[in-house]
Structure 1
Amino acid sequence: MINWPNIKIQLIDFLKSEVEKSGLEKVTVGLSGGLDSAVVAVLCKEVFGDKLNCVLMPSQFSSQSSTDHAVELCEKFNIKYEIISIAPMVESFINNMDEDKLRIGNFSARMRMSVLYDVSSREKSLVVGTSNKSELLLGYGTIFGDIACAINPIGQMYKSDEFEFAKHLGVVDSILTKAPSADLWEDQTDEDELGYSYKQMDDALKLLVDEKKSKEELISTGFEKKLVDMLDYRMKSNAFKGKLPTIANINWSLK
């Protein structure tokens, strides 16, 4: 069993310490109506109170329920929020994207982060990230989009474990019980897109990453080869998303 009260204390200490180091007092969180941002918002509310500002950024492709669930969470925890639609930004460029859902989704994620950083500048605050460990390992996020942030309290927490933590925090049932989704287009869900449940993927990831088991070891213990190959491929092909840009090393001494 995971000691969630202790995890909560650690994350609260992390948030306090990192924001204090920045010299700022406020934080800004993009609230999607999903589990990850709900967990981060509740944590930040406990630490920063009214110095937390949440921003809801629906597009023309977002479900109304996502906005409704985000508002419900804010009302339960008395979280200050504002709604800024990114629909006009997406609409102004959508004809250039050939109805490609992935391109539209990535563009939407980057527009949201542009808005979020602008709001954080207005508020003189720090952007707090909402990507969990499962997403970061698999590259299931948009570089310079939803992955971008100044600090991230849940980046070492697997998605399948996060549900229990969210219950511990008191996240509303409407968020706890719905299928995880980046809400990038109608009826999109993470697990349908990835092909497996988070529980299936996380059980394998914990062995591959945390216990350093080989692919062959996982397959020999009963994990589906297709699942293990998919996880291995995604981790390797998306590793660049978690790195700073590579800068050329110039030898200035050469004549």
Structure 2
Amino acid sequence: MPRITLDNVIRIDYEYAARRITDFIRTYVNDSGTTGAVIGLSGGVDSSVTAYLLVRALGRDNVVGLILPYKTTPPEDIRDAKYIAETLGIKYYYIDISNVRNAFAEAIPEFDEGNKVATGNLLPRIRMTILYYFANKLNKVVAGTGDKSELLIGYFTKYGDGGVDILPIGDLYKTQVRYLGKYLGLLDSIAFKPSSPRLWDGQTAEGELGVKYEDVDVILHALVDYRMNIEQAVEATGKPLELVQAVWRRVINTEHKRRSPVVPRVSMRTLGLDWRMPINRTGLSEFME
């Protein structure tokens, strides 16, 4: 049985990954008949790397960034988001979403400010709505910034930051995204910044998850890529049984986030069960294998 360490996870061909992803972005946008992409810029590694790849694929004139802070957004994140937009030379809009969020609070009966999850998830859903407004207005696609680690453990908001057209870095683990950022020339202060959705004060991803992404990625690499069972993953990674089980439990419990809405069978052929919309875009076929 192979020994799996973080070095196994991050030792990939970043030149190939960048080329593969940029080819995919370019093909998708061309086949969709749109003029480029809209992206939310948070100042974190995922959105920064995705923005770099979008510009590589489409050119700076065809990428629009949106910086959408709330009061829980630290000033350094706003600074870094503006730095990315200005470094890449893309057009960007700065829109404080406080008024929109507060309008929800005023309009919803018995709004509960103390419910972190319910109120916190409003923020990415508001951002999704604004991103799609600009995408519709400018005839562009919405590029998501979720990575493979977040997608697998469900660390994203359903119909919030999960509500996008494409996920360019969705097949790269968080640690791989960080090193791809270095390959692309991203500052270390951004590439290795602690990840956080900033849905409430003091929130960090690793603090909320209770485990470092380095450990998450090693465990997921064993369970998903090598298709190991729990016991094999424990032996291969050297991680505690309880930690491996906890990570896998997150994968299982968040499967609903990665699925399209479930449809009950009534007819002979049912969407999502035994029939899916055929993909006629020949250019995308190589990426869908």
- Name the TM tier (shorter chain): over 0.9
Q: Residue 17 of structure 1 is aligned with which of 2, 16, 27?
A: 27
Q: Which residue does 1:43 correspond to in 2?
A: 53
The one-letter code sitting in structure 1 at the alignment partner of 2:101 is: V
Deviation at 1:79, TM superposition (A): 1.9
The alignment status of 1:209 with 2:219, answered yes or no, reads: no
Q: Deviations over 1:115-164 (max 9, x none)?
A: 11011111111001110000000000000000111111110000011111
Residue 134 of structure 2 corresponds to residue 119 of structure 1: yes
Per-residue deviation, residues 223-248 of structure 1 (Å, max 9, x unmatched): 21221111111111100111111112
Q: 1:156 aligns with which of 158, 167, 171?
A: 171
What TM-score do the two structures reach when normalised by structure 1?
Answer: 0.95
* 1:79 equivalent in structure 2: 90
Which of these residues, 245, 251, 255, is aligned with residue 261 of structure 2? Answer: 245
| Structure with higher RCO (Cα < 8 A, 6+ apart) | 2
2:124–2:161 contact (8 Å) kept in structure 1: yes
Are 2:140 and 1:140 equivalent residues in the alignment? no
Shift of 1:10: 0.7
Q: Among 67, 77, 81, which residue is 2:78 paired with?
A: 67
In 1, the alpha carbon distance for the partners of 2:267 and 2:258 equals 27
Residue of structure 2 in register with 1:107 after alignment: 122
Question: Partner letter of residue 21 of structure 2?
Answer: L
Distance (whole Å) between structure 2 residues aligned to residue 122 and residue 170 of structure 1: 32
Gaps of 5+ in 1: none
- Equivalent position amino acid for 1:81 in 2: Y
Corresponding residue for residue 113 of structure 2: 98
Identity between Structure 1 and Structure 2 (%)? 33
Contact 2:178 2:192 in 1 (8 A): no
Q: Does 1:26 align with 2:41?
A: no
Aligned match of 1:234 = 250
How many pairs are equivalent? Answer: 252
Stretch deviating more after TM superposition (217-226 or 3-12): 217-226
The 1-side partners of 2:187 and 2:135 are apart by: 26
Unaligned runs of 5+ in 2: 1-10, 269-289
How far off its partner does 1:98 sit? 3.4
Does the CA-based 8 Å contact 1:26-1:51 persist in structure 2? yes
- Does structure 2 retain, via aligned residues, the 8 Å contact 1:73–1:172? no
For residues 251 and 129 of structure 1, the distance between their equivalents in structure 2, rounded to whole angstroms, comes to 34
Check the 8 A contact 2:72/2:199 in 1, yes or no.
Answer: yes
- TM-score (normalizing by structure 2): 0.84
8 A contact 2:36–2:141 mirrored in 1 = yes
Whether the 8 Å contact between 2:147 and 2:169 is mirrored in structure 1 is yes
